[in-house]
Structure 1
């Protein structure tokens, strides 16, 4: 065995762990209309999209935290707000997902009592995280007799989505209680930009994954996988149904019909990405227009906005000015990288209070979105 091949094998062994392929939890069809009111109806139908760890690692190697983009031989690419809307079916315009967060069991307990009428025990929590087993148990025990019970059921379901395919941590076993505050007004849940928050969480996970001491990646790997297979189809397994919406479900249980695909190595994907040429990156417009529901396409008004992505303490950047070709536009010279300062490294650890996202960041989000709407 020559030195090059030996190094490739060693590098493959050192790959980040990214074997989280959780699906959305099932729900009672009785709540379908209420779930649709919240904007979480589409994402609730996503099945198991098994991870291809070698491909994810090859992409992470090309992620630059300074620009929040993947750097390829033909230029820069990234998961965009457009991709989030098309892949997950989440609203991408609206109120930023942020607010105060207090790491206190008493506050967590009070919030759960407000929403569910019951509160978890300390053994049902992990710090400021509520174990998904407790939420599932509560959801399964809820009797859908009136609107109050149905809303409690739907809130449980949404929290399970947060803890699995949208904002899941590395364990995939718990969800932070901070989201509960934003679910208080049931009719107002759909007004939040959950899609941009999910993308912020993914970008933060990618930035963390580039660190030498990182051993595992979290975040919405379903979003990242599907984005790569749509935008970079030469990386993709054969889709089960090329006209299916939700788009993520085109590769639901792909391993059953693409058995050999799971054994592709990191070296294989490195070589494919190194050999990229013009025309290898697709815009979302190659997807048949009639496949995408009208209520999803309406979010395209914000897809090209260069804005901060906000999810509580997590502030990232939607650097759409650096990957214009994904929108079928000519790529000019991008702007200088945005310095997010201390916001880019904020974490929720220890008994401390995290203030809401700085007003200058949320103001930037609102201002650019208003500008986008007025221009449309």
Structure 2
């Protein structure tokens, strides 16, 4: 569908669900450091980066703040071959909303609802295609990892320089960086994926409405084939890290987080 391509969701639509290794995820959560947003391994720090999100993707409140995925599926299940342009556009928006909330990009705790806050972003497909959806996905992933460690679903030692992850499988070199350079993988990656590679290893805030998470890719320069220098002190968020959208539906988050928006724009435009 041309509208999916225009909005930047053409490749995301090809993603399929797969079985998750819960034991491995739990082990990784235990090593997540909420201060520096990296997994602390015995030999190295590592993290999910914007490169990973780009290559992998190609890119519950009430009071009617959410749409159920079941409602979207029922009401936009079939599209007639004679459908008008307006109906095709509505169907494309409904499908993208399912990709966002249906366990593919940005699911909530129950994975059966998608928040209406994303719908206005799809009003203009050409504009939607210019948004950094990858950084939004990464911000949510970081936020969920921090929430998991905070609420006891994982444990990170206060002394994060001395982690204990003997139960995690590592290769004989200590750690295997997934650089996507293996011939059988590299041939599957379209060249356009690399057009925004200049933002993959920057230190910048990533925003998703109320959520602000810091991208500290300067701590994992080896992933990008660079020499690792001594990382700078991690950014501190004060009370921003715990802000939610609950009871704040009228807040303009672009204004509320204008400092972080400015920092993102400054890094992106370099």
TM-score by length of 2: 0.87
| Residue 130 of structure 1: how far off its partner (Å) | 1.2
- Residues 43, 175 of structure 2: 8 Å contact kept: no
| Residue 142 of structure 1: how far off its partner (Å) | 4.7
Change (3 A) 1:270 1:156: farther
Residue matched to 2:219: 322
Residue matched to 1:361: 260
User: Which stretch shows the higher mean deviation, 288-297 or 176-185?
Assistant: 288-297
Counterpart CA distance in 2 for 1:314 and 1:54 is 27
Residue matched to 1:370: 269
Counterpart CA distance in 2 for 1:173 and 1:206 is 20
Deviations 1:129-162 (A, max 9, x none): 2111111122125545222111111100010011
- Residues 76, 322 of structure 1: 8 Å contact kept: yes
Deviations 1:18-37 (A, max 9, x none): xxxxxxxxxxxxxx222111
Say whether residues 1:334 and 2:224 are aligned partners: no
Residue matched to 2:205: 308
- The equivalent position to 2:73 in structure 1, one of 131, 136, 140, is 136
| Residue 351 of structure 1: how far off its partner (Å) | 6.0
- The equivalent position to 1:282 in structure 2, one of 178, 181, 185, is 178
Residue matched to 1:243: none
- The equivalent position to 2:138 in structure 1, one of 199, 217, 223, is 199
Counterpart CA distance in 1 for 2:153 and 2:174 is 33
Residue matched to 2:161: none
The within-5 A match list for 1:1-376 is: 32-90=1-59, 127-140=64-77, 142-143=79-80, 145-164=83-102, 165-214=104-153, 270-273=166-169, 277-286=173-182, 288-350=185-247, 352-357=249-254, 358-371=257-270
Partner SS, residue 271 of structure 1: coil
Partner SS, residue 326 of structure 1: helix
Deviations 1:296-351 (A, max 9, x none): 12121211121111111111011011111111111110010111222211112236
- Residues 131, 175 of structure 1: 8 Å contact kept: yes
- Residues 66, 115 of structure 2: 8 Å contact kept: yes
Counterpart CA distance in 2 for 1:317 and 1:276 is 31
Of structures 1 and 2, the larger Rg is shown by 1
| Residue 289 of structure 1: how far off its partner (Å) | 3.2
TM-score by length of 1: 0.63
| Residue 290 of structure 1: how far off its partner (Å) | 2.7
Taking only aligned residues, the RMSD between alpha carbons, in angstroms, comes to: 2.3
Deviations 1:172-197 (A, max 9, x none): 11011001111111221101111110
Structure 2 unaligned spans of 5+: 155-163
Counterpart CA distance in 1 for 2:261 and 2:69 is 30
Change (3 A) 1:75 1:173: same
Partner SS, residue 308 of structure 1: strand
Counterpart CA distance in 2 for 1:133 and 1:333 is 49
More helix by share: 1
Counterpart CA distance in 2 for 1:275 and 1:151 is 48
